[in-house]
Amino acid sequence: MDILALPHLGKEVHRRYDDLGIIQVYEDGNKRYLSFGTADEQSCQLKAKPGQPQHGYARAMMASLCLLKPDQAVQQASVLGTGGGLMARCLFEQLPTTQVHTVDLRPAVIQIAHQYFGLPRDKRLTTHAKSAMDYLNACPTNSQGLLLSDLYLANGLDTRQLKPEFVSECRRVVQNDGWLVLNLWKEHREDGLFLPQLKAQFQTVLHSTTSDGNWIIWACPNANAAPDKRGAQLICKRLSEQMGFNLWQVTKGFYRFF
């Protein structure tokens, strides 16, 4: 058996290599998966509903849309870490007037997101083949209404997301009423330095641990930026119909201590 085969993900339909290693696409009939050669899935797409997030962490990240005020027009939204392009696609579909950007260090990942996962080719969606820090450094100050960071390598989390300079640069580019959304591992809750350094720059910080072991953080520079619990429930009810899953089920964890 091919030692790089992952039969639990179905049939391998594409494989290629770049300077950082292997990139594989699998299909099991109902779903399509992106892998970087390990048992962990980088992306999972339900073929019948290609724009619907499947993983618990992805749904918790996308549930941050409930934080946007009804009259809040997000002009720019960015995803750091493209994977299969599913979160960028979800933002593209749910925010029809927003310019969406997706960033990945590996050009091949972006190509595969287009070819195998249907990442839209549209003037309203721009891809950037560069590092997350290079992208942030080039962004104008206060330009991002939503900034989602989902930076993972084949061997796990890209720990540069935990560095003070990364947090500072995110704060510079996120608008005062905008949101930074981070996908970390639950083990990082024990880091005694990260959350305080985040709260020093973002006055509203909500976080929750998902059933698949991820620690998702929503952070806004403004204090009292999040809707109250009842308001969030009403927004989630409306968005659930559009997005095809129960947003409050994944959102309520953020409000446990709110």
Residues 64-106: pLDDT tens digits? 999 998 778 899 999 999 999 999 999 999 999 999 999 999 9
Domain with residue 99: its CATH number is 3.40.50.150
Across all residues in the chain, what is the average pLDDT?
93
Same domain membership, residue 90 and residue 21: no
pLDDT at 31: 96
Same domain membership, residue 242 and residue 159: yes
Which residues, in sequence order, are CB contacts of 214 under 8 Å at separation 6+? Answer: 56, 57, 60, 183, 184, 185, 186
pLDDT at 190: 81
Same domain membership, residue 36 and residue 155: no
Same domain membership, residue 31 and residue 87: no
Lowest-confidence segment of 2-16, 127-141, 180-194 by average pLDDT: 2-16
Query: Does a structural domain hold residue 3?
Result: no
Same domain membership, residue 13 and residue 124: no
Same domain membership, residue 117 and residue 35: no
Query: Does a structural domain hold residue 111?
Result: yes
pLDDT at 183: 95
> Domain range spanning residue 237?
56-255
Coil, helix or strand for 128? Answer: strand
Query: Does a structural domain hold residue 182?
Result: yes
Query: Does a structural domain hold residue 124?
Result: yes
Same domain membership, residue 223 and residue 200: yes
pLDDT at 11: 93
Same domain membership, residue 129 and residue 96: yes
Query: Does a structural domain hold residue 113?
Result: yes
Lowest-confidence segment of 22-26, 65-69, 173-177, 190-194 by average pLDDT: 190-194
Query: Does a structural domain hold residue 51?
Result: no
Residue 1 in this model has a pLDDT that exceeds 70:
no
CA 83 to CA 110: how far, in whole Å?
8
Total structural domains within the chain: 2
Which residues, in sequence order, are CB contacts of 21 under 8 Å at separation 6+? Answer: 36, 37, 154
CA 131 to centroid of chain Cα atoms: 16
Kindly write down the DSSP assignment for every residue of 12-79, as one continuous string: EEEEEEETTEEEEEEE-SSEEEEESSSSS-SEEEETTSTTS--SHHHHHHHGGGGGS-TT----EEEE
Residue 3 in this model has a pLDDT that exceeds 60:
no
Same domain membership, residue 144 and residue 39: no
Q: Which pairs with CB-CB distance under 8 Å and at least 24 residues apart come from 233-241?
A: 235/66, 236/63, 236/66, 239/65, 239/66, 239/94
Same domain membership, residue 119 and residue 40: no
CA distances from 101 to 83, 115, 136, 217 (A): 13, 17, 11, 20
- Of 226, 216, 165, the C-alpha closest to 189 is 216
Same domain membership, residue 106 and residue 20: no
Query: Does a structural domain hold residue 101?
Result: yes
Coil, helix or strand for 6? Answer: coil
CA 22 to CA 154: how far, in whole Å?
9
Same domain membership, residue 124 and residue 83: yes
